[in-house]
Structure 1
């Protein structure tokens, strides 16, 4: 009898050792981290930052690619030393708090990436090169073991929204969602012309130029845009001197190829190629003088016709182009709330 009890006790003890406790059954948490990544695109090493929020070991997380905006904008959304709104680093932090992995990178001409293979021929750099760079970054994000391939999104700001939108119907798997934050919503030269009409109009209202000077300038701006698109020589008469100089520099400078290739893209047409059911957030800010809200209306309509899912267009009252409200050092809460409404639908 004693031997049987001893044997039974040994069996129960062994069984207890084989069954994990509740604490042992729960995967160990992995702390949040930032990791520098490098990927090569057409001979150029591109440098970026992968942010992984805290998560359970073995957990797959939604992930967002953050293409940079216009100009030599780096992975943080800055053009140092003069322009440092930290738009993309703030965006990565906000998404990280919502449990979203993010990848942001130094585009051509910025940060550690620099011009790379284009250093000796900057005039050859066109908009499709930036699109290919973003597509390569998307593939890197997809390959990360922590990301959920069913919940990959592209979240671009300004020009970066268009850059991220273009490969959305080509990469695999296709993005589950697209975030267009204060996006370039109309053709580039149309947007430039709009801005170059608005500035003299404000000067005319303030009495700095006459209404006739404004009219002549507006006609000259429209002629300059038409000449750039058709490859004809620019007419220096008409636009105000500073605006005429701007167009001449655009025509003769190294950015000509980029501007004309970007201008060939109609954002509404690109949006129409999205797969039906793709989740989309489109924002505009009432304090955004670079991308006024009314320019986003055709894009919103194209998304509706394409069968995009919500939350759709969100108007952000008092928000500027860099997603700021009253506090210039962070994203405004309205932006964070709009992002949360979008990301909640990914889970």
Structure 2
């Protein structure tokens, strides 16, 4: 597999949302005495992820009183080759994660965001001597590298790294995940009992409430609606066969791709895109993620949860996914969660002026998102709690 092939893979595409806050401005920033203040800073960090992978990230430390420790969060990016800032090769530039980090620093909250494995300055994937003819052992090495559990483990390692920083109060740390990243942090929060300091709060942004096969099928169906000459029912039936094979055997079946190639009405490029998305190197990734029901998982996290969802998100839906998360969280006893569905906002928490022409990728994160996030985390990570 080449780096270009890896970069072409995005399982959940990005979008946007907006709404001015009720008070019409940003949440108030911290005010500190200049005589006792350590100024805001940031530094690049590297630390071990799962199976000898080195993760690279950016740690932002807000201005704070000398001799005190501050609360902090980790920010886990969405699907595909997304870097620490929320961007991907090929021009997909959202800067979502870096903007969130800047806003949180103004609230006195530190953050650690990182390049996912095989992205940016983090460790790359194991290379085949001949990428066009990898050996069975080389394919297995790739499958192990990209296993779903490794992404969850990398997020857990990032939380641990944050908690070990001298400026951070480890008891006041939280998890933030965007899109597929919300599934990852949901698993870390709900399933991981091994940390000395479990996450004190959980933030889910543009979060799926349904399993990944349902989400991806819906996304592809939506794209096929824009191409009336393509036999959508046939393509979706083959996608169903792919997921069924993965669930049953842990491997991508080959027959659906042969059927797609044999149908002259299915564009060659569409079949090739699916072959890249479901290439053998990703067997363990897909199999692992298919085992996760995001709503069922998150209800096992006992702490406070914030769900931020754009009303004009066309990747994850406020009408389909958010109600499932809401019901799951309400089933907890006791329950502490807040859901904010933000008008005119995309998957990437950006303003959508015209859905027909504006995908909501560029620009600043909408004020309602940052204001709600800042105030909620300031309360949940308060030293007085």
TM over 0.5: yes
Which of residues 304, 312, 318 is equivalent to 1:287? 312
Determine the C-alpha separation between the residues in 2 that align with 1:255 and 1:90.
31
Comparing 102-111 with 303-312, which one deviates more in the overlay? 303-312
Determine the C-alpha separation between the residues in 1 that align with 2:127 and 2:97.
25
1:58 is aligned to 67
Comparing 232-241 with 69-78, which one deviates more in the overlay? 232-241
2:28 is aligned to none
Q: Which SS does the other structure have where 1:63 is aligned? A: strand
CA contact (8 A) 2:73 2:112 kept: yes
Which of residues 121, 135, 158 is equivalent to 2:179? 158
Shift of 1:319: 0.9
Determine the C-alpha separation between the residues in 1 that align with 2:283 and 2:334.
34
Q: Which SS does the other structure have where 1:173 is aligned? A: coil
Q: Which SS does the other structure have where 2:112 is aligned? A: strand
Q: Deviations over 1:274-305 (max 9, x none)?
A: 12xx1111121122111121223212211221
2:44 is aligned to 36
Pick closer, same or farther for the CA change 1:263–1:59 going to 2, 3 Å.
same
Determine the C-alpha separation between the residues in 1 that align with 2:290 and 2:170.
32
Determine the C-alpha separation between the residues in 1 that align with 2:326 and 2:61.
31
Shift of 1:131: 1.0
2:94 is aligned to 85
1:264 is aligned to 291
Shift of 1:230: 2.3
CA contact (8 A) 2:36 2:66 kept: yes
CA contact (8 A) 1:224 1:247 kept: no
1:19 is aligned to none
Pick closer, same or farther for the CA change 1:127–1:308 going to 2, 3 Å.
farther
Q: How does 1:1-347 map to 2 (within 5 A)?
A: 28-41=36-49, 42-115=51-124, 118-119=126-127, 121-124=141-144, 125-169=146-190, 170=192, 171-203=195-227, 208-209=228-229, 213-231=231-249, 232-236=253-257, 237=259, 240-241=266-267, 242-275=269-302, 278-293=303-318, 294-307=320-333, 309-326=335-352, 328-346=362-380, 347=382
Shift of 1:26: 8.9
Q: Deviations over 1:156-186 (max 9, x none)?
A: 1111111112122423311110000112332
Structure whose CA Rg is larger: 1
Determine the C-alpha separation between the residues in 2 that align with 1:286 and 1:137.
30
Structure with the larger helix share: 1
CA contact (8 A) 1:228 1:234 kept: no
CA contact (8 A) 1:310 1:342 kept: no
CA contact (8 A) 1:316 1:335 kept: yes
Determine the C-alpha separation between the residues in 2 that align with 1:245 and 1:234.
14
Q: Deviations over 1:101-130 (max 9, x none)?
A: 1001111011111326x4553332211101
For structure 1, the residue ranges without an aligned partner over 5 or more in a row are: 1-24
TM superposition score normalised by structure 2: 0.75
Shift of 1:271: 0.6
Q: Which SS does the other structure have where 1:254 is aligned? A: helix
Pick closer, same or farther for the CA change 1:172–1:184 going to 2, 3 Å.
farther
Shift of 1:311: 4.5
Q: How many residues are paired up?
A: 314
CA contact (8 A) 2:38 2:63 kept: yes
TM superposition score normalised by structure 1: 0.83
CA contact (8 A) 2:246 2:286 kept: no
Q: Which SS does the other structure have where 1:184 is aligned? A: coil
Q: Which SS does the other structure have where 1:59 is aligned? A: coil
